[in-house]
Amino acid sequence: MNPFPILLAEDDAMDRILTEEAFRESRLTNPLFFVNDGEELMGYLRRQPPYDDVCQYPMPGIILLDLNMPRMDGRACLREIRGDPELNHLPIVVLTTSTEQEEVVRSYNLGANSFMSKSIDFEAFVSQIKAFGDYWCSIVELPDGE
């Protein structure tokens, strides 16, 4: 079985680079795709141009979602994805710098499958990504894409 694609919705370029490096260091081989905000995420998931080429932009097996993004934030994305019968099966892991309990509760209430607070220490972040990969990419059974 080929590793399923992972889609990261993250507006901060440095956080995208650090996440990509953490994937490499944790030896997570799933292809990682990026969008910059919630509107791009929804366009990607709904196959709207420029994301209409399924070979170039495959449907993700899981979404890593930042909460605080411009144009459409992660909370609005959670609401929209969970309200869409074509998309509501997708696992969503919130990956954010917030440690506020209110954000954790709100994310789960909106349908997040998991909530991870990004460590500011890179080695600890690599450990978090490794644990994410061990669980989501090796242990659990996910629905087939498309």
Tell the burial category of 2 from Cβ atoms under 10 Å away from its Cβ (0-12, 13-18, 19+).
exposed
- Which pLDDT score, from 0 to 100, does residue 38 have? 97
Per-residue pLDDT of the chain (146 residues; tens, 9 = 90+): 568 999 999 999 999 999 999 999 999 999 999 999 999 999 999 999 999 999 999 999 999 999 999 999 999 999 999 999 999 999 999 999 988 999 999 999 999 999 999 999 999 999 999 999 999 988 888 777 65
Q: Encoding tokens for residue 28?
A: 């997570």
E strand residue ranges, the chain: 6-9, 32-35, 62-65, 92-96, 114-117
What one-character DSSP code corresponds to residue 126? Answer: H
The two most distant CA atoms of the chain are separated, in Å, by 39
- Which pLDDT score, from 0 to 100, does residue 2 have? 62
- Which pLDDT score, from 0 to 100, does residue 146 have? 55
pTM of the predicted model, to two decimals? 0.94
Q: Which residue has the tokens 């954790």?
A: 104
**Residues 6+ away with beta carbon under 8 Å from 43:** 35, 49, 51
Q: Specify the CATH number for 6-137; select among 3.40.50.1000, 3.40.50.2300, 3.40.640.10, 3.40.50.300.
A: 3.40.50.2300
How is the chain split into domains, by residue range? 6-137
Q: Residue 57: left if φ>0, alpha if ψ -120 to 50, beta else—which one?
A: beta
